[in-house]
Amino acid sequence: MGAWWLVLFNTGATKQYFAERESARESARPLSIGIIGWYLLIGAAGTALATVFRVAVLFGFILTGWSAVAVSMAYIAIQIYLGAGLLRLQERARLWSIVYFCALAANYLAAVARPGFMEQMQRAMPQLDKIWMFGLIGAAACAIPIWFLVRRRTAFPQA
């Protein structure tokens, strides 16, 4: 049986089949980049739903009313632009996505570090007694897409 497999995998047709599959795989979008792109697009839809509540957090400041709607709309536009750009393998979208996730991590850390933020959040959501942990986990979670965006830079055509 082993000899049959050896003969089968050394035929010209088998070698050609796997050679064609390999070249098709190289030109395809990496799974991690596709996941990040779709995450941003789905996140934009989630942000749009959250706009109904007219509350947004920007660097530790809780915004309400129309200022919250304006910030949320800016988030939505950025997420749609970056998500669609990543799915199209645009280098500019990759670079701005790295900047976006760094700013998002800074937003989480600034919110946790801002004096009085914890008390405001405790009043708004008393069931969350360890809100600082969400901020730290959120900031750390931003490192994951940044790592993939840096690691998979060869998938993006250079301008």
Q: At what angle do helices 117-124 and 91-113 cross, to 10 degrees?
A: 90
- pLDDT for 24 equals 46
Is this prediction's pTM over 0.75? no
Residues of the chain with pLDDT under 70: 1-2, 18, 20-27, 121-122, 124-132, 159
Burial class of residue 31 (count of CB atoms within 10 Å of its CB; 0-12, 13-18, 19+):
exposed
Rounded to the nearest 10°, the torsion over CA 113, 63, 51, 138 is 0
Q: Which residues contact 45 (CB under 8 A, 6 or more apart)?
A: none
User: Which element (helix H / strand E) includes 58?
Assistant: strand 55-58
CA dihedral of 70, 75, 76, 79, whole degrees rounded to 10: 160
